[in-house]
Amino acid sequence: MTFGERILERAECLAAFTEDEGRLTRTYLTPMHRKAGEQIAAWMREAGMQASFDALGNVVGRYEGATADAPVVLTGSHMDTVVDAGRYDGVFGILTAIECVADLAKRGKRLPFAFEVAAFGDEEGVRFGVTMIGSRAFAGRFRPEMLEARDKDGVSLREALTAFGGNPDEIPGLARKGIAAFVESHIEQGPVLLDDNLSVGVVTSIAGSYRVKAKVTGLAGHAGTVRMPGRRDALMAAAEMALAVEAHCAAQPHELVGTVGKLAVAGGGATNVIPGSVEFTVDLRSGDDAVRRRALRELEDKLFAVAKRRSVALEWNPFFELQAMPCDPRMQAALAASIDAQGIRVRHLPSGAGHDAMELAHVAPMAMLFVRCGNGGISHHPSETLAASDADIATSVLLHFLESYVP
């Protein structure tokens, strides 16, 4: 069995650990998180690593280096998912690293560094609305107030972590100091490699992002008695604002993307009632932070102009920001050499999605390897696909990188 075949087989196994019947949903500090983590830890030990859960519910495996005082190179990705997810987002980066260790151990080879593989418990932020929890802790950027975030049932992160068997008091001790490098393998979640007919590519940078919560307040009224010119329709105003986000981002010469991902009428709305209150979200991303910040200011002005013209009120609350993160040039070159060693043309490309690697870049040189998605590059969806041959090539590239890299 090839690396790729085993990775796909194990990804299918992990997909069985789901909270929702008939679709893959696995969120942080749930029984399914526990089961997936236990399975991953078992595979790590089988490959030749020491492995266990840490105080935050991450699973960490360690393959010792050639000497006791060897530096540490870290890899990993996340084992949580979005709701109704695909099978490879996150877990590929864990499973490919386990395959590399298994191959090294089989040959009795030790590296000039200790190699650690982290299966982060939460990157998506689905349950508590706080993203990249595990990698933030590794980077020493976990803030105590995050423990007070609550899920839809009112359970705090602190309460859930304690019930899971974690220890909030030990989170500061998870910060990694002196890491020689962090490298993450991930499915592309886009069509660039697919369109170029390439199995893998080297990531140049990870886009920064803003998330905004917006609320439009108009005036509810009877659908049959309020004349059109006098309406203060919150939904129509929000719809115009959503289109303004799309038009503004599409018109930019830079790599800027904007998404209205949620739009909800208060109370669910009614067929015969003019909506009086609507909430929506905006997600803005760019690899250039200056472009992203300018877009936020310009969109705020445009959307308030829509609100004024339509006689509605707008609340505009940015609540989350990630800075763009460039990948380390020397590590990019090392990954490119490992791709070239497989006889594959080297393609450099940016990442529009956020990744755990963004957090680790605060404490170590960072690089990312992308592997091709099939099916148009779709991700965060059950139709997400990955070819065994591409997974095999990506694992061979990572293994070559590990055996060639000098911290």
DSSP 236-268: HHHHHHHHHHHHHHHT-SSSEEEE---EEEGGG
Q: Is 89 known to sit in a ligand binding site?
A: yes
Q: Is 380 known to sit in a ligand binding site?
A: yes
**Secondary-structure breakdown of the chain: helix, strand, coil percentages, each rounded to the nearest 5:** 40, 25, 40
The count of C-alpha atoms lying within 13 angstroms of the C-alpha of 405, restricted to the half-sphere facing its C-beta, is 31
Q: C-alpha 377: how far from its chain's center?
A: 16
Element (H, E) at 133: helix 133-138
Q: Is 384 known to sit in a ligand binding site?
A: no
Cα–Cα–Cα angle for 199, 202, 206, nearest 5°? 120
Q: Is 211 known to sit in a ligand binding site?
A: yes
| Exposure string over 191-215, b if 16+ CB within 10 A, otherwise e | ebbbeeebbbbbbbbbbbbbbbebb
Cα–Cα–Cα angle for 181, 49, 94, nearest 5°? 60
Q: Is 272 known to sit in a ligand binding site?
A: yes
Q: C-alpha 303: how far from its chain's center?
A: 28
Q: Is 196 known to sit in a ligand binding site?
A: no
| Annotation: binding site for allantoate | 211, 272, 285
| Annotation: binding site | 78, 89, 124, 186, 211, 272, 285, 380
| Annotation: binding site for Zn(2+) | 78, 89, 124, 186, 380
